[in-house]
Structure 1
Amino acid sequence: MGEGRRVLLVGAGGWDYLASSGDRLKAYARLFDFAEVNATFYHLPRLSAVRSWRRRAPPGFTFAVKCNKRATHELRLRAEEETYRVLERMAEAMRLLRSWMLVLQTPPSLPLDTVKVREVGELLRGAGLCAGVFWEARTPLSPGKLRGVRAEMIRAGVTPVVDLGREAPVEGAQAVYSRLFGSAPLTDESLRLIDERLKLSGAELAVLSFHGAAMYKDAHRFKTLRGR
């Protein structure tokens, strides 16, 4: 971040939609230092493809792996043999990408309380995923219940995912992982608000993953705003 020893990673949800006549990943990596791999959410990738991603990106480029929906949406992160198999495949993709970030996105239909969070924490530890897990829980919760669930995530060693365009960072989290959504380009005011919330968070690590039709432009505009 250029502030003390903080680290800021800025990028988008994959590189497949970048307008480029050549290798899109290589073109993307010239613009950004980070990408959230959304392809892993929709299908379990061939390991040869994963190796290709790492090979085509520069050494300092950082990947985050989004957990496959089979584990998060269909198996609902239950401690079952198949869930462990999916998590093991995600861990293998992370290893090949030299990634230390796994993103969980769970659906609005998932019943979520502190007990479920503790169960997921045990599941992750059982799969050897003890750190670098970021969880976007889309279950509709009251503000009080949401605070309790997020506090339990932190106790379980999981970082709650937020959208800094809509809310402040979670108190007590040592890292900020923000998935930013919009059907239209974010306004300059919105980008400045995101920047201000980052500065106030005091987090040692901040990750901004832009999504939507204007995600590449928004990510680039934020970097320009930041002077990076």
Structure 2
Amino acid sequence: MTATVHLGCCGWSYLNEKEFAAQIKRKYASKLQAYARLFNTVEINSTFYRLPRLSTAQKWRQEADAMNPKFEFTVKAYQGITHLHRFGGISVSLFGQLKEICTALGASVLLFQSPASFRPTEAALKAMKSFLQKVDRKDLICVWEPRGMWYDNPGLLAEVCEECGLVHCVDPFRNEPLVFGPSKIAYFRLHGFGKTSMYNYDFSEEELQRLRSILHSLPQSVRCIYIMFNNVSCYENAMEFSALLRA
């Protein structure tokens, strides 16, 4: 496998620094800096719920730079775009604010997660395509994680991604990525299989071995792979998988 792997979690706020004291080695000024001692990438999930102040994003970038100037942020798009306005209404204006946040963070990857209720209808397709045509996506790789009925028509899903220049984001234990976009990247989000909540999960060594096999099975044209753990044991599992990749 020749692709570069960007490994991390969907957020840093739940990191228990005491559990990773041996790896972190000392007390840092912020939890983000402790996280950056362990991983080289993070997906900011909180931007889905509320857009931070620009000064907050700048502060995050400065904190990460103090640890690793090459530390990478990816950003999950605000739910106002994908869930409330469904790519219509004031979505273009909201995107402008979101792009300012991405610029402050030095983030080049922006994730859109559409709900299962955003079905593959003519109206939905029209709204999404119109939105993507209007916004300034320069310097951004747009990743799309569709949910629901889109997987009933993989041909249409792939066609939309190709036409709109999107990277198809998946949980690799549930679906195969169909399109890697002009940038030739794979973007994986691992949620888990918990019974009460899918996120309440700890991936086994066997599952992590399987994940490594999935990476090795990707097309040779894929140049970057983003792996974001989004489960209760995300930090532990990401550390375990990092060790597995180095073995």
Could you tell me the TM-score, scaled by structure 1's length? Answer: 0.90
The answer (yes or no) to whether the contact 2:109–2:141 under 8 Å persists in 1 is: yes
Cα distance, 1:222–1:128 mapped onto 2, change above 3 Å? same
The 3-state SS of whatever aligns with 1:30 is: helix
Alpha-carbon distance between aligned partners in 1 of 2:13 and 2:227, rounded to the nearest angstrom: 18
Counterpart check, 1:175 vs 2:206: no
**CA-atom RMSD in angstroms:** 1.9
Cα distance, 1:40–1:142 mapped onto 2, change above 3 Å? closer
Q: CA deviation at 1:114?
A: 7.2
Alpha-carbon distance between aligned partners in 2 of 1:207 and 1:26, rounded to the nearest angstrom: 20
Higher mean Cα deviation, 199-208 or 44-53?
199-208
What is the correspondence of 1:155-170 to structure 2 with a 5 Å cutoff?
155-170=163-178
* Aligned match of 1:187: 204
1:48 aligned to which of 32, 36, 55? 55
Q: CA deviation at 1:214?
A: 0.5
Higher mean Cα deviation, 192-201 or 216-225?
192-201
The answer (yes or no) to whether the contact 1:114–1:148 under 8 Å persists in 2 is: no
2:84 aligned to which of 46, 52, 74? 74
Counterpart check, 1:136 vs 2:145: yes
1:152 aligned to which of 155, 160, 166? 160
The answer (yes or no) to whether the contact 1:9–1:34 under 8 Å persists in 2 is: yes
Q: One-letter code of the match for 2:37?
A: R
Alpha-carbon distance between aligned partners in 2 of 1:121 and 1:61, rounded to the nearest angstrom: 32
The answer (yes or no) to whether the contact 1:169–1:197 under 8 Å persists in 2 is: no
Alpha-carbon distance between aligned partners in 1 of 2:159 and 2:213, rounded to the nearest angstrom: 23
* Equivalenced residues, count: 222
Higher mean Cα deviation, 178-187 or 106-115?
106-115
Q: One-letter code of the match for 1:136?
A: E
Q: CA deviation at 1:147?
A: 3.4
What is the correspondence of 1:1-228 to structure 2 with a 5 Å cutoff?
3-4=1-2, 6-20=3-17, 22=28, 23-57=30-64, 58-78=68-88, 80=89, 82-113=90-121, 116-117=124-125, 119-129=127-137, 131-143=140-152, 145-170=153-178, 173=181, 174-182=184-192, 183-202=200-219, 203-227=222-246
Alpha-carbon distance between aligned partners in 1 of 2:162 and 2:8, rounded to the nearest angstrom: 24
Q: One-letter code of the match for 1:123?
A: F
Cα distance, 1:179–1:204 mapped onto 2, change above 3 Å? same
Could you list the per-position Cα deviations for residues 14-37 of structure 1 after superposition, in whole angstroms to 9, with x for gaps in the alignment? 100001375110000011000000
The answer (yes or no) to whether the contact 2:151–2:157 under 8 Å persists in 1 is: no
Q: One-letter code of the match for 2:212?
A: D
Alpha-carbon distance between aligned partners in 1 of 2:161 and 2:177, rounded to the nearest angstrom: 14
Gaps of 5+ in 2: 18-26, 193-199
Gaps of 5+ in 1: none
Could you tell me the TM-score, scaled by structure 2's length? Answer: 0.83
Q: One-letter code of the match for 2:235?
A: Y
Q: One-letter code of the match for 1:76?
A: R
Q: CA deviation at 1:118?
A: 5.9
Alpha-carbon distance between aligned partners in 2 of 1:62 and 1:115, rounded to the nearest angstrom: 35
User: Which entry has the higher C-alpha Rg, 1 or 2?
Assistant: 2
Runs of 4+ in 1 over 4 A off after TM superposition: none
